[in-house]
Amino acid sequence: MMDIRLFSEILSIDSTSGKEGELVDFLYERLRTDRNTVVRFDDQQNLLFSWGEPKVVFCTHLDTVPPYIPPVFEDEKVCGRGTCDAKGQIFAMWEACKALEAEGCTDFGLLLLAGEETGLFGAKAFDKLVSENPAVIQSSSVILSEAKDLSLQDTWIIVGEPTDNCMASASKGTKAFEVTFTGKAFHSGYPQYGLSAVEMFNDFMNALRSIVFPKDEILGDTTWNVGKLLSDNPQNILSDRLSCRVYFRTTFETDEMVCNVMKNIAGEDARLRFGRRRVQDGADIVAKEVAQWQKSMTVKAFGGDSPTKYEILDGFPAKPVAFGSDAPQLTNFRRKILCGPGSILVAHRPEEHILLDDIRTAIDNYVKIFEKIRIL
């Protein structure tokens, strides 16, 4: 029987990004047994529970997006922040670990990472640590001097995210850019003497909308979103500065293309216009002058993940997903599965929720996946 009280306690702790510490303290004490060992990485707020020398590692993240929303249990439906992203995964994976422990298994682990929602810094830090010392994922009996001889290429990692209990066949990549427009402030009654950064932004948006990205046969359409927009100016003065964050969800077809497009927008050779042809040698097309909004903009890239394919096992439903996760950052693990309970369609929303029956299915799936991997 599931420990619903534990799930409620996990959900009752505010672990929005940057506040993972209290949840780490709680889980460090609450999930320790006489059969596992636990390592706490205080500098990144990561936790690793190990039963022997893991050949399979269950993994998900500790943080949630803001704002914190306390849990409400409505029969089989549980509402609140983190229920499906990703405290439901923490709970389901822990219940699976308990079941495996009861069966006497001694070759699995549970890795809980901080900062997934704000730059994946917990996964990046852990991956760097493992690159330098693979022994951290192995039994405490492995001494550091032997670490360089260890390999995690045969160790599987199962990353928990809300995939409707399907195995993700692939996930989209992410690319983030900060775009800044510099105008000239002037009295709004005489706009002809100034340059509005807001109008430049509008031109940029119209140009971006005109791009037609090729459709990927696996991941579908490339999408983008302006998630942050800053321009602090009185209403009667032309804005002299505006900055925004543009966030792309890329496919195998467009991951490199998106970077090239943004580079060309900001470069001196700004002839690549969204929806127009670049002038090639011998072409009879004359490039138009670079627009004012392009002359007055700067683009800073913040990187991101590349589209990724994952392992699929027979007997489990599978589908591609459009969101990112810690999985691509965990480069030391060659064999990766991405799956978990809950729907991404309610994640990050005020009505975020999960069904307890979905968690039961996930627990059963995680145990079956572990058992199937052991005989491969």
pLDDT tens-digit profile, the chain (376 residues): 899 999 999 999 999 999 999 999 999 999 999 999 998 987 789 999 999 989 999 999 999 999 999 999 999 999 999 999 999 999 999 999 999 999 999 999 999 999 999 989 999 999 998 888 777 766 443 333 333 444 566 899 999 999 999 999 999 999 999 999 999 999 999 999 999 999 999 988 988 888 889 999 999 999 999 988 998 888 999 999 999 999 999 999 999 999 888 877 765 443 333 333 332 333 333 334 567 778 888 888 887 889 999 999 999 999 999 999 999 999 999 899 999 999 999 999 999 999 999 999 999 999 999 999 998 8
**What does the pLDDT read at residue 289?**
53
The dihedral of CA 132, 135, 140, 145: what is its sign? negative
Residue 145: predicted pLDDT: 36
Cα 52 off chain centre by: 29
Confidence (pLDDT) at 144: 35
What's the pLDDT at 286?
33
Q: CA-to-CA distance for 248 and 137, rounded, in angstroms?
A: 33
Which helix (H) or strand (E) is 103 found in, with range?
Answer: none
Give the bridge partners for 136, in sequence order: none
Rounded CA gap, 101 and 334, in Å?
25
* Fold assignment, 4-171+308-374: Aminopeptidase (3.40.630)
In whole angstroms, what is the distance from residue 292 CA to residue 15 CA?
45
Q: Name the pairing type of β-strands 77-79 and 37-41.
A: unpaired
**pLDDT of the residue at 186:** 92
Beta strands at 77-79 and 353-355: parallel, antiparallel or unpaired = antiparallel
229 close to 242: Cβ distance less than 8 angstroms: yes
Segments making up each domain of the chain, as ranges = 4-171+308-374, 173-303
Provide the 8-state DSSP code for 195. B
State the fold for domain 173-303.
Alpha-Beta Plaits (3.30.70)
Of the CA atoms within 13 Å of residue 335, those in its CB half-sphere come to 17
Long-range Cβ contact pairs of 312-317 (< 8 A, separation 24 or more): 312/167, 312/169, 313/167, 313/337, 313/369, 313/372, 313/373, 315/368, 315/372, 316/166, 316/167, 316/365, 316/369, 317/165, 317/166, 317/167
Compute and round to an integer the Cα radius of gyration of the chain.
24
User: From CA 175, how far away is CA 240, in angstroms rounded?
Assistant: 27
Q: Give how far the C-alpha of residue 105 lies from the chain's centroid of Cα atoms, to the nearest Å.
A: 30
